[in-house]
Amino acid sequence: MLVKILLVVGLFGLARSVEQVRYDNYKVYNVRIDDLEQFKLLKSQDKSLKLSSWREARHLGESSDIMLPPEYQKTFESLLAKHNFTYNLKIDNVQTHIDAQKPKQRITSMEWTQFHTLEEIYAWLDVIEDRYPDIVTPFTIGNSYEGRPIRGVKISYKEGNPAVFIESNIHAREWITSATITYFIDELLVPRNPAVRDIAQNVDWYIIPVLNTDGFAYSHEVERLWRKSRLPSDPTGECIGTDLNRNFDYLWMLTGAESDPCSQIYAGPSAESDPEISQLTAYINNSIPEGTIKIYISLHSYGQYVLSPWGHTALEFPEHYPQMMHVAKGFSDALYRRYGTVFTYGSSATTLYEVSGSGKEWAYAVKNIKIPYTIELRDKGELGFVLPPEDIIPVAREVTEGFVGMIAAAREIDIL
């Protein structure tokens, strides 16, 4: 169901009339894929039943999270029953949880009891840049396709520190990522315990809170569950956007990506076709001294994973895989001690699914950054992309603890 509303686009445009997507009575099913025939059957029904994949099964015998609109649900359930799928209903009405993500009374100043818009995040970046000029160095890697600046901050207490680079919200709908990383930035600026003070003062942090600025704004203004960029990708105008985490120039389109512009994992017409990725890699290449970045993190949700290279094959592992696993264990163990949240770690191909053209693969293979990860935050699929605002602080606190453990583990093996 579409509802027309008038939005004011603040910093980046004039008021315009848009169609706001609602998900009334959309359901999310958890469906186990037992064999290749079941997998092919579901793929064949993608467009006819308007199936939207939230999370795909890693291997045969595991489950996918699939959302679909109410008018196709009976047909879908009949199909599952006829072909002996095992399934259960995870979310009965997606819109109910989206509504719960919206504050009853919006607070425009930055705090972590609600999900903030791009304008609010950027206004807060202005505040911390003014408040901590000796610690915070702002940077902009360039502009998005629609002209939004892609902003980041470097947090550095002294010269000569090794660095960690974090890009967040490369997938627009993963709001918990930018909420978490802005909380972490605040922790680095006003450390509340000695361990956080240590990693703030002795490590430089390059952080881009929202890499996919166009998609993120669109997910707030129009379509909450939008994933991709907003670069037109289909001459007919029917399909928009690239999966930016398939657009990096390393083994682009080898596996785990699609050439169909309508696909959620469309890798773009060419490697680095989207300005968000070409400008990100250019910034790292040209503005950060070679060898400075010791750890690269692409922050995502959901699933509770720490994923390393390789993504393109499960048959071999990178040279530094033992070090990657040591540091991933340090992150996961420290995070667990906060609330008992379990993170699984391993290579992408063996732990989740095969993928190429992603940020961490580029960071390792092209930039020789020995510890690169995709980190998937909470949850395990109970609410997925529509976590309530009440979860922001617990997630951010445990991730902060995880980063402390990550740095400690990296030091143990002389990465930092």
129 is catalytic: no
Residue with tokens 């901050």: 153
> Which amino acid is present at 416?
L
Residue from 416, 390, 388, 389 nearest 403 by CA: 416
Please tell me the distance from the alpha carbon of residue 306 to that of residue 375, in angstroms, as a whole number: 5
Please tell me the distance from the alpha carbon of residue 398 to that of residue 338, in angstroms, as a whole number: 6
Do residues 374 and 263 make contact, with C-beta atoms less than 8 angstroms apart? Answer: no
Please tell me the distance from the alpha carbon of residue 208 to that of residue 227, in angstroms, as a whole number: 17
Contacts of 310 (CB under 8 A, 6+ apart): 316, 317, 318, 347, 348, 349, 361
Query: Quick one: three-class SS letters along 359-380?
Result: HHHHHHHCCCCCEEEEEEECCC
Please tell me the distance from the alpha carbon of residue 408 to that of residue 108, in angstroms, as a whole number: 36
Q: Which of 223, 376, 398, 401 is catalytic?
A: 376
Phi, psi of 71 (to 5 degrees): -70, -15
Displacement of CA 251 from its chain's centroid (Å)? 20
182: left (phi over 0), alpha (psi -120 to 50) or beta: alpha
Orientation angle between helical segments 194-202 and 392-412, nearest 10 degrees: 60
**Which tokens hold the place of 318?**
């990178």
Residue 232 pairs in a beta bridge with 240
Length, in residues, of the chain: 416
Strands 2-7 and 27-33: unpaired
Residue from 403, 333, 400, 401 nearest 186 by CA: 400
> Longest Cα pair distance anywhere in the chain, in angstroms?
65
Instruction: Tell me which residues are annotated as active site.
Output: 376
